[in-house]
Structure 1
Amino acid sequence: MKGVYFLISTLAILASATFLVSASDPSPLQDFCVALNDTKSAAVNVDNLLGLNTLGISLARIDFAPNGLNPPHTHPRATEILVVLEGTLYVGFVTSNSDGNRLFTKVLNKGDVFVFPIGLIHFQLNVGQVNAVAFAGLSSQTQE
């Protein structure tokens, strides 16, 4: 009978231990490298900086002439954070169907930051009389 109690208690302990176990995906980080001092391209992604491979990030500089527009677009696999370095931008995004397709907009000035959530349609428009410059960071190595 001791053997049966031992077996039952062992099974009970093993069954409860499975709830304490957690699992996660391993980090995709394989290696890293230092960026090259090359200003020929305004976008930095895995295509022109191989060290970004598997890091899940990219960066783009956007230069806007007065009334310049980055037309409505989406990044299906990336959240975007935009930092205005110069000028004035009118920016916005449209929420998903479940949120009623609401439009959120804001006028950004030098030093302002705005986040476009992953997969939502968004845009930027220079509403100032001078050129505007912004940097966009994306949580995708391909800017998609």
Structure 2
Amino acid sequence: MEYSKALASLFTMLVLAPLPLLVKATDPDPLQDFCVADLSGKLSVNGFPCQPSSSAGDEFLFSDKIATGGDPLANPNGSNVTELDVSEWPGVNTLGVSMNRVDFAPGGTNPPHVHPRATEVGLVTRGELLVGIVGSLDSGNRYYSKVVRAGETFVIPRGLMHFQFNVGKEYATMVVSFNSQNPGIIFVPLTLFGSSPPIPTPVLAKALRVDASVVDLIKSKFAGGY
């Protein structure tokens, strides 16, 4: 009987122990109504330090920074990202949210990338975009895709590689939101071929099953970053 009780207690501990980790799977909850970021301070687990409430005007709740986008032709990818995270909108500090606007020239792409700290929800506001998502090895690296048109939405689960590509003949625009004030971004091509210091060529040649000369050629394309 005592042995059975011990096993039951051990089982309960193993089941319940991970629960605190699951609760902290996203940004920590705020401890006040708002905490306008003091960007001169040091970033901590819960965000930036708060400005004194007396110095925060009503404007911290509002922003027009994504009302207009940038020029997608100024980027070799044919796309331009206008970020609205905590560094651009201090009012979202500790609130666990942020937004981006992305403008695409015809044939432009937001290259394959990952947001390590956030799920993404997007709305296409102009044009039509091919949205592609690749699942993890658990899903057999399945590729999900659809052409998403103006007025339609999509969701990208946290941590999955994805991209958007303008398949239309006109400019396209999307607005996306994240459940993190700082979702982070890892561009797959830049990570592999433009890291600093660089990943050794033999490693990439072996992993990609190509000649070293091919790796060096691709690296040369990312020497200046994105």
User: Does the pair score TM above 0.5?
Assistant: yes
State the distance in 2 between where 1:47 and 1:29 align: 20
CA contact (8 A) 1:31 1:51 kept: no
Counterpart AA for 1:139: N
CA shift for structure 1 position 37 = 4.2
Does the C-alpha gap of structure 1 residues 29 and 115 become closer, same or farther in structure 2, counting only changes over 3 Å?
farther
5+ long unaligned stretches in structure 2:
1-19, 35-59, 70-81, 185-226
Q: Secondary structure at the match of 1:142?
A: coil
State the distance in 2 between where 1:129 and 1:76 align: 32
State the distance in 1 between where 2:68 and 2:147 align: 30
CA contact (8 A) 2:129 2:148 kept: yes
5+ long unaligned stretches in structure 1:
1-22
Q: What residue in structure 1 maps to residue 143 of structure 2?
A: 103
CA shift for structure 1 position 55 = 0.8
Which range is displaced more, 128-137 or 43-52? Answer: 43-52
Q: What residue in structure 2 maps to residue 35 of structure 1?
A: 62
Does the C-alpha gap of structure 1 residues 52 and 29 become closer, same or farther in structure 2, counting only changes over 3 Å?
farther
Q: What residue in structure 2 maps to residue 15 of structure 1?
A: none
CA contact (8 A) 2:29 2:95 kept: no
Q: Percent identity?
A: 46
Choose the corresponding residue for 2:130, options 87, 90, 99. 90
TM (normalized to structure 1)? 0.77
Aligned residues: 124
Whose strand fraction is larger, Structure 1's or Structure 2's? 1
Choose the corresponding residue for 2:100, options 54, 60, 65. 60
Larger Rg: 1
Choose the corresponding residue for 2:180, options 129, 133, 140. 140
Whose helix fraction is larger, Structure 1's or Structure 2's? 2
Q: Secondary structure at the match of 1:48?
A: coil
Q: What residue in structure 2 maps to residue 79 of structure 1?
A: 119
CA contact (8 A) 2:101 2:174 kept: yes
Q: Secondary structure at the match of 1:46?
A: coil
CA shift for structure 1 position 36 = 3.8
Q: What is the root-mean-square deviation in Å for CA atoms of aligned residues?
A: 2.4
CA contact (8 A) 2:117 2:182 kept: no
1:48 pairs with 2:48? no
Runs of 4+ in 1 over 6 A off after TM superposition: 23-26
TM (normalized to structure 2)? 0.50
